[in-house]
């Protein structure tokens, strides 16, 4: 596994460093330019008001010289960190050669295909680059499933996040994204995820996954369930935006068995939990299963170059040339960067580092949970972690305002995190996987401090 010495040089020294309470004057100027001209829908800069000057490894500097520990990682994109030298070198080389090639092959493109095929289960023989975003990959996955089965329906899980385009949004549950925009694609159905902390079944919490799997089996078996046999079930092996929820690994194992039994395709959306984040290269590996289709994006472009892919089984490789197309299927810089990033991750066992460091961070967060009345649950796997904020531990009433406060107070102290969750009440940590132990533990300490402050304020102390 990679040493702390090798990781230290990737990030800026002495983070966090807050010189001016953010947003400082330079950030304010740039934020104003954004507010005056960009869409009202811009959101991240509302939760973390700053303008970014540069990034390095697991650190970000704002326009006023404040340096933050990045525990947000560009929403999980920056697995190898900002500006990783090996990845930049590969990208710089490629940018001088050729940058856009549609789907006409080149060594650079086929190199990424080769690396992916080395990493994926051998049954997933085919790779398709369908467009630059994760949502594009999800669209292609559902199109492929429908084309091959001749069926229309898709089953997803409550709390799922699969994207913002028509089809992928229809599979995304957050009403904040869906409400008020009319009809999405039809024949999409949701079943319960194995979310133990909010177990909907009334069974022992540690059996939530068994009941959730049974529910899916019943829906697919019962001719009166109201759901016709679907083309596919789509699942995040570890739910991301839904609140960093790692289910018991047997959940996905059971979902695989049930979908096989009912002859329904299984799509694993690995856009967030894939490529090393959970301590294994793919989230589904924790359950030792092979999906029929896998979606990839985020970390696939190395240092944030937009790219996505689906990988699927040979038997599904039936669509004729041009059945699905798109202009941006050949971002050569992203291919070169992606190959360099994946090779680096394998060579240095970055997933192993994520697994080990994730355990240490989670231990500290569990400590925080034990000593706090407003942390319902700290959970996660690898460097995909969440802190579920509640008004009261006994009632478990969600406290989205506390989660937002954790984000804004942590930001002011120099730590960047995300907020998510079924009730928008989970402070989420998705740091670059190359973060040092020192930075990760410092960042975690600040988050715990901030939680204690919020608790004191809530108690009126
Ligand atoms: C699991 C999952 N699927 C799909 C997407 C959509 O990816 P994009 O935002 O690149 O369209 C995301 C984004 O967060 C995601 O987490």
Tell whether 228 is covered by a domain: yes
CB 269 within 8 A of CB 238: no
- The verdict on the CB of residue 270 being under 6 Å from ligand 1 is no
* Euclidean distance between CA atoms 55 and 62, whole angstroms: 9
b/e sequence 407-429, b meaning 16+ C-beta within 10 Å: bbbbbbbbbbbbbbbbbbbbbbb
Nearest in space to 136 (alpha carbons), one of 338, 399, 327:
327
Query: Shortest CA distance to 99 belongs to which of 335, 334, 332?
Result: 332
CA 413 / ligand 1 centre spacing (Å) = 28
Measured from the Cα of 270, ligand 1's closest atom is 1
Q: How far apart are CA 77 and CA 141, in angstroms?
A: 20
**Is 387 a domain residue?**
no
Judged by DSSP in three states, 67 sits in: strand
Atom of ligand 1 nearest to the CA of 160: 1
pTM of the model: 0.98
Burial of residue 63 (number of CB atoms within 10 Å: 0-12, 13-18, 19+): buried
169 CB near ligand 1 (under 6 Å): no
Residue nearest to atom 8 of ligand 1 (CA): 134
DSSP 3-state assignment of 131?
strand
Cα 135 to ligand 1 centroid, rounded to whole Å: 6
pLDDT at 461: 64
Query: Which of 138, 272, 277, 428, when mutated, tests ligand 1's pocket best, judged by the most ligand atoms within 8 Å of its CB?
Result: 272
Q: What is the mean pLDDT of the chain?
A: 97
157 lines ligand 1 (CB under 6 A): no
Provide block-wise average pLDDT over 10 residues at a time, the chain (461 residues).
95 96 98 97 94 98 98 97 98 97 96 98 97 97 98 98 97 95 94 98 97 98 96 98 98 98 98 98 98 98 97 98 93 98 98 98 98 97 98 96 98 98 98 98 98 94 64
Three-state DSSP state, 129: strand
Indicate if the alpha-carbon torsion angle 236, 240, 243, 244 is positive or negative. positive
**Tokens coding 307:** 């790219």
- Domain CATH code at residue 303: 3.40.640.10
> Which residues face 295 on adjacent strands?
269, 310
The verdict on residue 279 lying in a domain is yes
Is the minimum distance from the CB of 418 to ligand 1 under 6 angstroms? no
Name the residue of 291, 298, 426 whose CB sits within 8 Å of the most ligand 1 atoms, as the mutation to test its pocket: 298
Pocket of ligand 1 contains residue 247 by CB under 6 Å? no
Q: How far is the CA of 172 from the centre of ligand 1 (A)?
A: 10
Q: How far is the CA of 141 from the centre of ligand 1 (A)?
A: 13
What gap in Å lies between CA 286 and CA 179, rounded to an integer?
A: 34
The one-character DSSP state at 196 is G
**pLDDT (tens digit per residue) in 310-347:** 999 999 999 999 999 999 998 999 999 999 999 999 99
- Give CA separation, 107 vs 101, 112, 224, 344, in Å: 12, 9, 52, 19
Q: Is residue 294 part of a domain?
A: yes
Question: Closest Cα partner for 232 from 314, 346, 325, 154?
Answer: 154
236 pocket-lining for ligand 1 (C-beta < 6 Å) = yes
Atom number, ligand 1, closest to the C-alpha of residue 165: 11
Confidence at residue 102, expressed as pLDDT on a 0 to 100 scale: 94
Q: How high is the pLDDT of residue 459?
A: 87
Q: Does 430 contact ligand 1 (Cβ within 6 A)?
A: no
272 lines ligand 1 (CB under 6 A): yes
CB atoms within 10 A of CB 119: 18
DSSP run (H or E) holding 446: helix 437-458
| Number of folded domains that form the chain | 1
Classify residue 57: in a domain, yes or no: no
Q: Decide whether any atom of ligand 1 lies within 6 Å of the 241 Cβ.
A: yes
- What's the domain range around 160? 85-347
Can you tell me which atom of ligand 1 is nearest the CA of 306? 10
Looking at the domain assignment, is residue 225 inside a domain? Answer: yes
φ, ψ dihedrals at 229, nearest 5°:
-55, 120
The answer as to whether 7 is a domain residue is no
* Assigned domain for 417 exists: no
């Amino acid at each position: 596994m990679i040493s702390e010495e090798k990781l230290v040089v990737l990030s800026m020294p002495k983070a966090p460093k807050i010189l001016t309470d953010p947003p400082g004057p330079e950030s304010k100027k740039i934020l104003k330019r954004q507010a005056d001209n960009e869409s009202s829908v811009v959101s991240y800069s509302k939760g973390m008001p700053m303008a970014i000057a540069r990034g390095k490894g697991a650190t970000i500097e704002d326009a006023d010289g404040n340096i933050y520990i990045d525990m947000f990682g560009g929403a999980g994109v920056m697995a190898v960190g900002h500006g990783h030298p090996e990845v930049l070198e590969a990208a710089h080389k490629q940018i001088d050669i050729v940058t856009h090639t549609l789907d006409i092959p080149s060594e650079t493109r086929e190199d990424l295909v080769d690396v992916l095929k080395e990493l994926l289960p051998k049954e997933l023989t085919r790779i398709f680059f369908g467009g630059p975003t994760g949502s594009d990959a999800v669209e292609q996955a559902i199109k492929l499933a429908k084309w091959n089965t001749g069926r229309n329906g898709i089953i997803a899980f409550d709390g799922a996040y699969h994207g913002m385009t028509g089809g992928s949004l229809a599979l995304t549950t957050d009403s904040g994204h869906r409400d008020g925009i009319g009809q999405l694609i039809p024949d999409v159905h949701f079943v319960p995820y194995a979310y133990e902390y909010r177990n909907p079944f009334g069974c022992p919490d540690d059996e939530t996954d068994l009941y959730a799997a049974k529910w899916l089996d019943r829906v697919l078996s019962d001719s009166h369930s109201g759901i016709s046999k679907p083309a596919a079930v789509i699942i995040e092996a570890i739910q991301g935006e839904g609140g960093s929820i790692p289910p018991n690994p047997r959940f996905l194992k059971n979902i695989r068995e049930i979908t096989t039994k009912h002859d329904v395709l299984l799509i694993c959306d690995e856009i967030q939990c894939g490529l090393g984040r959970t301590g294994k290269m793919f989230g589904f590996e924790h359950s030792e299963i092979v999906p029929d289709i896998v979606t990839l994006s985020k970390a696939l472009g190395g240092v944030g170059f937009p790219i996505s892919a689906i990988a699927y089984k040979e038997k599904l490789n039936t669509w004729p040339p041009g059945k699905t197309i798109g202009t941006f299927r050949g971002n050569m810089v992203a291919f070169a960067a992606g190959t360099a990033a994946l090779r680096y991750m394998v060579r240095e066992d970055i997933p192993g580092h994520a697994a080990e460091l994730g355990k240490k961070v989670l231990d500290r967060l569990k400590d925080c949970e034990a000593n706090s009345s407003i942390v319902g649950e700290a959970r996660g796997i690898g460097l995909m972690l969440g802190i579920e904020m509640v008004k009261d531990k006994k009632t478990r009433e969600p406290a989205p305002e506390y989660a937002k406060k954790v984000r804004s107070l942590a930001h002011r102290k120099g730590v960047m995190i995300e907020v998510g969750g079924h009730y928008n009440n989970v402070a989420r940590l998705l740091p670059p996987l190359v973060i040092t132990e020192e930075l990760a533990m410092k960042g975690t300490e600040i988050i715990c401090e901030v939680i204690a402050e919020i608790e004191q304020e809530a108690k009126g102390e």
